[in-house]
Structure 1
Amino acid sequence: MIDDLREFEVRAWSLAGLAFCVLMMAVALVLEHVVGLEPCPLCIFQRVAVLAAAAVFLVAALHNPDGRLGAVLYGLLSLGAVGGGIAVAGRHLWLQSLPPDQVPTCGPGLDYMMEILPWQQVVSRVFTGSGECAEVSFRLLGLSLPGWTLVGFLVLALVPLGLLLAANRPRHGYHWRG
């Protein structure tokens, strides 16, 4: 089976990753605009991670490098974006797991912070967390939205790993024996 997966090219892995990113964003936008759930600052950062991964997958699909270097480069870049999303979703879940008396107080909204603070302070304050990020406003099968987002990022992580696997694909008539 590993040999079959190794035969996938960079474009195939990248298009699969891009499609999954589109699915994740579509779900987020439906939950926001149809269901009426407002995203908190950590939710927005998770969307940024999805969009960053989607951008890498799009460029990789358009470029479709034949060499190992390209597959490794796109694999590592997309793994960085997905890893960032995993970290943010994990932080979000941690905030939701806190007892009510340990939840940070609500701060100003992300839009307001972006207007008055340098971006480094905005990132720092968002990761410190706020009460709104600790609220669980929706559950499906026992998981909150950050839990499902974490599952999505873990599934999405298979694509960069596939890109790195594609980098080890046999080339020029010789076969890899592992």
Structure 2
Amino acid sequence: MTTQLLRGSFRFQFFLGFLACAGLLAYAIYLQLHDGLEPCNLCIFQRIAFAALGIVFLIGALHGPKRHGARTAYGVGALIASIAGIAIAGRHVWVQMQPAGEVSCGAPLSFMRETMSTWDVVRKVMTATGNCGDVDWTFLGLSMPWWSLIWFVLLALWAGYAAFRRA
């Protein structure tokens, strides 16, 4: 079964990537709405990166290109979204590893969007000045940013394998 899955069509592999992104986003929203875990600014950007990655996976799956060049283009798009997610999740992990109270995320994202330009908001969020250092959820000893980082790496490898392997 594993060999068939790995050797499956590009369309199927990218559809699995889309399902993984959709599932991760659904779980994050479930934790927010059901368990009351409010996302911080870096969490929001990780969700955006998962959504972008999921969209690339979905479009690639729907298109199902036969030519290697088109597959490569989808692979590059997925890798770009994954690398952005890795950078954001990596920053979030770093923030959580700092001593309590030393680094935070700042004002709520909605307030910053009303009072700052888009690039200033991105720069402010990425410098982590709010509650991003709080660890409210863990699984197997790892916080949600750690799991996001792991998933971004796995999905980058998956997209690279699907897009750049020989047919």
Report the TM-score when normalising by structure 2.
0.91
- Name the CA distance, whole Å, in 1 between partners of 2:164 and 2:55: 20
Matched, 1:85 2:80: no
Larger RCO: 1 or 2 (CA < 8 Å, sep 6+): 1
1:153 shift after superposition: 1.4
Cα RMSD of the aligned pairs, angstroms, is: 1.7
Residues 65/109 of structure 1: CA separation in 2 closer, same or farther (3 Å cut): same
Q: Is the 8 A contact 1:60 1:74 kept in 2?
A: yes
Whether 1:32 and 2:35 are equivalent positions in the alignment is no
How has the CA–CA distance of structure 1 residues 114 and 5 changed in structure 2, closer, same or farther, with 3 Å as cutoff?
A: same
Unaligned stretches of 5+ residues in structure 2 = none
1:133-158: CA deviations, max 9, x gaps?
Answer: 11111222211111111122122123
Residue identity over aligned pairs, in percent, reads: 39
For the Cα contact (< 8 Å) 1:11–1:62, is it kept in 2? yes
Q: How does 1:1-178 map to 2 (within 5 A)?
A: 7-100=7-100, 102-104=102-104, 107-166=106-165, 168-169=166-167
Q: Letter of the aligned partner of 2:120 in structure 1?
A: Q
Deviates more, 1:130-139 or 1:22-31: 130-139
TM-score, normalised to structure 1, is: 0.86
Structure 1 residue 12 displacement after superposition: 1.2
Shift of 1:7: 4.1
Q: CA deviation at 1:6?
A: 7.1
Say if 1:19 and 1:83 are closer, same or farther in 2 by CA, change over 3 A. Answer: same
Partner Cα distance (1:156, 1:116) in 2: 35
> 1:131 aligns to what SS in structure 2?
coil
Task: Show structure 1 runs of 5+ residues with no match.
Answer: 170-178
